[in-house]
Structure 1
Amino acid sequence: MIEVDAAGVVEFTQALVRIPSTNDPARGRNEQPAADLVLEKMRSWGWEPQVYEAAPGRPNVVAVVEGGLPGPTLMFEGHTDVVTEGDLSEWTVDPFGGEISDGKLWGRGSADMKSGLAATLYATRALQLAGPFPGRIKVCALADEEGLMIGAHHFVDSGLAADVDGAIVAEPEAGEICAVAKGALRLRVDFTGKMAHGAMPQHGRNPIQAVGSLLVALRSYQDELQKRFPAHEHLGEVYVTPTVARAGTEEQVNVIPAVASVFIDVRTIPGVSHDEVAARVLDLAGYDGISAEVSVLVDRPPVDVPVSDPLIVALAGAHEAVTGSPAVYGGVPGSTDGTVLTHWGGIPSVVYGPGGKWIAHQADEFVEVDEIVRCTRVFAEAALRFLTRSA
């Protein structure tokens, strides 16, 4: 096994967790301080990272570590932003304390995904010190994964994905190798009717009735999709979930509003066409003289990388070599930066990293300290196997 700096990767994770890198301009927070810490660590090793600003105060940090021999390019990817800590009364620890107790490192982003980001840096450094090795590793700390993924889109749009042959995304997956991920399609349906007095509804056209009709139809449509596309082995069912319904600009009980809206979160599995879903929703929105318009807010197709891909084979072999246990395959219930890298960057991607699969975004978030170190070893071994096998 390649030797890794076990104490160093844990300490660096603690330092990252202690930075409240939420996207919260009202509190003066963004990813910049976390990106600065990553830059400092990379430069301390003699790397020459580049900074690309996806948005003001929201940088992408990218370092290319050459192995010294001809070969392909592997990308390690993590994000520097975290979700809000939420209600502090729900926490039993300081959400940005980075404390270690009971073998766990606690805090917001400990699992999602500052431990994974730290592991990618320290795995690359370990491989560099053990070198030479074929090809190169592109270590990327991107912004805004928790939002609209502007960091990953900026990375792809800037041409930085063009030379990458495979990407390991270090999200928390509890030891599962996730080569598949659900798609996310978020729609907004706007209805336009005609305002009228509640006492004289015959003079108006009530868009709220169109909302009700659509909500009922969406449940039937979800049932239809689930029959057409049986549950995926790792991703489960297709879901069509209305999440917001609202009418008018002000609530006034004696007024029929002129407008109403419904927001829909659709989670898909491979085989489901997002264009077809959007068109069907528009068809279902039709209602007795009420005009309807469907807007696509987010369109992230499912990811489905074959387990026979060299990237997956290398990661599975590394997992088995380091842990002594067979690889376990799973799926990502949401989308990650890997979705952007695969569909818009053309890069085979896989999600694997330290931390529980369901602990992200919860109070008292934590990651097992041993798992941070173990994943760092797996990443180093996977990189060597992928770059050597593909050379």
Structure 2
Amino acid sequence: MTFPVDERSVVELTQALVRLRTVNEPGLGEAPAAELVAATMRGFGWEPEITEVAPGRPNVVAVVEGGQPGPTLMFEGHTDVVTEGDLDRWTVDPYGAEIRDGRLYGRGSADMKSGVAAMIHATRALQLAGPFPGRVLVCALVDEEGLMLGAKQFATTAVAATVGGAIICEPEEGEICTSAKGAVRVRVDLLGAMAHGAMPQHGRNPVAPLGRLLVALAGLQERLQAEHGVHEHLGPVYLTPTVLRAGALDQINVIPARATVAIDARTIPGVDHALLVSSIAALAEEAGAPDGVTAQVTVVDDRPCVEIAPDHPLVVALAGAHEKVAGEPARYGGVPGATDGTILTRDAGIPTVVYGPGGKWIAHQADEFVEVEDIVRCTHIYAEAADRFLRS
């Protein structure tokens, strides 16, 4: 069957979404994109449900019935984007959605407003092709680039319990990603005592313990990599210090009372997150002990690794659709970071696979782009995959 995808409209919707600056920053929000998504859905005769997860941050969920008994498939994408960063690094307007030499440029073009547009128009094409079994949920959620509040809210709903599988429409450069790395974000505060820099004997300086902790974390990473090896699609475990704070630059003569390091740990199956956090805590205490410095460890966020079997009906349907539409064998991979699918699997038990238009490594970069041909191809693949899954 050939599905009547409106190829021009899916590209135009991508452009319209990219032109909306829905950056995940305080004071902004996804409301403009949510309004456009909802209006597009209403134009198809759908009745989207809009739920404000936080002020100015609405989830949009539409249920499209196939008219016959059957399972429920979910398409999911997010409407927030990261900041455009240094404008001097861009050669195009980050929100111009310019098409040049077959590429659509702009912040969020790949990550992931093209995926949102593709899943909407794929579901519309499936609907226009005639009755189909079951139903499709089309979900445009908020805050994926933050704490994934949109996915967490959706996972608590009654409709989430009905989902048999979800395609997460993130950019993966043609790969069917059956696994995603886990993420543990940890903050370590080393607590000493403030004193004059000329009289260090009256204080407890946490800066030296911070240095010792950084060295110890590198050693812990090496041990974890040796123990768990390299995952076929996800690579090795990483423990990356990302934020360091100790005192103030304009107070060189003051010993600080606190030094902080934030750690972004990216894990693979087999790594025990609770044990990892306790290991970091032990290293922090050990690093501070010689100077009488204590440690407080806070888990900011904890996202598990997720995997789906390659013979799961959802993966089989997507692989078959890719092979039919793209005319090439399916390629499999893993997601180097977490997606909303991580939360949907953890909190609602939904099997997820990640596949969508755009390059895997272009996200969050200057001059972000997506190939127009890729948007159209993925839209056709989504429609075909949905039909195959719902009839399986």
Name the TM-score class by shorter chain: over 0.9
Give CA deviations for 1:163-217 in whole Å, capped at 9, x if unaligned: 1110000000000000101111110001111222333322322111211111110
Which of 323, 328, 331 aligns to 2:326? It is 323
- 2:185 paired residue number: 186
Partners of 2:301 and 2:328 in 1: CA distance: 38
1:350 Cα deviation (Å)?
0.6
- 1:346 paired residue number: 349
- 2:125 paired residue number: 126
Residues 225 and 337 of structure 1, relative CA distance in 2, 3 Å threshold: same
Quick one: which amino acid aligns to residue 248 of structure 1? G
Partners of 2:21 and 2:204 in 1: CA distance: 48
1:155 Cα deviation (Å)?
0.7
Give me the identity figure in percent: 66
User: Secondary structure of the residue that 1:116 maps to in structure 2?
Assistant: helix
2:215 equivalent to 1:216: yes
Which of 265, 281, 298 aligns to 1:295? It is 298
Quick one: which amino acid aligns to residue 218 of structure 1? L
- 2:151 paired residue number: 152
2:205 equivalent to 1:202: no
Give CA deviations for 1:227-256 in whole Å, capped at 9, x if unaligned: 000011111110011112221366522322
Quick one: which amino acid aligns to residue 362 of structure 2? I
Structure 2's unaligned 5+ residue stretches are none
- 1:3 paired residue number: 4
- 2:135 paired residue number: 136
2:83 equivalent to 1:80: no
Give CA deviations for 1:249-305 in whole Å, capped at 9, x if unaligned: 665223222211111110101111111110000000012221111000011111111
Residues 79 and 207 of structure 1, relative CA distance in 2, 3 Å threshold: same
- 2:366 paired residue number: 363
Structure 1 residues 366-375 or 155-164, which shifts more?
A: 155-164
Partners of 1:159 and 1:212 in 2: CA distance: 48
Quick one: which amino acid aligns to residue 20 of structure 2? I
Which of 311, 315, 325 aligns to 1:308? It is 311
How do 1:37-52 and structure 2 match up within 5 A? 37-52=36-51
- Normalised to the residue count of structure 2, the TM-score between the two structures is 0.96
Structure 1 residues 56-65 or 154-163, which shifts more?
A: 154-163
- 1:253 paired residue number: 252
Partners of 2:368 and 2:88 in 1: CA distance: 14
1:5 Cα deviation (Å)?
1.0
Partners of 2:171 and 2:279 in 1: CA distance: 34
- Normalised to the residue count of structure 1, the TM-score between the two structures is 0.97
Partners of 1:199 and 1:19 in 2: CA distance: 54
Quick one: which amino acid aligns to residue 349 of structure 2? G
1:346 Cα deviation (Å)?
0.4
User: Secondary structure of the residue that 1:344 maps to in structure 2?
Assistant: helix
Quick one: which amino acid aligns to residue 5 of structure 1? D
Partners of 2:41 and 2:293 in 1: CA distance: 58
Quick one: which amino acid aligns to residue 332 of structure 1? V
User: Secondary structure of the residue that 1:161 maps to in structure 2?
Assistant: helix
Partners of 2:265 and 2:24 in 1: CA distance: 25
Which runs of 4 or more aligned residues in structure 1 lie more than 6 Å from their structure 2 counterparts after TM superposition?
Answer: none
Which of 323, 332, 336 aligns to 1:333? It is 336
Partners of 1:6 and 1:373 in 2: CA distance: 6
How do 1:217-236 and structure 2 match up within 5 A? 217-236=216-235
Matched pairs, number:
387
User: Secondary structure of the residue that 2:135 maps to in structure 1?
Assistant: strand
Quick one: which amino acid aligns to residue 196 of structure 2? H
Q: What value does the CA root-mean-square deviation take over the aligned residues? A: 1.2
Give CA deviations for 1:299-329 in whole Å, capped at 9, x if unaligned: 1111111111111111011101111111000
Residues 199 and 283 of structure 1, relative CA distance in 2, 3 Å threshold: same
Partners of 2:243 and 2:64 in 1: CA distance: 46
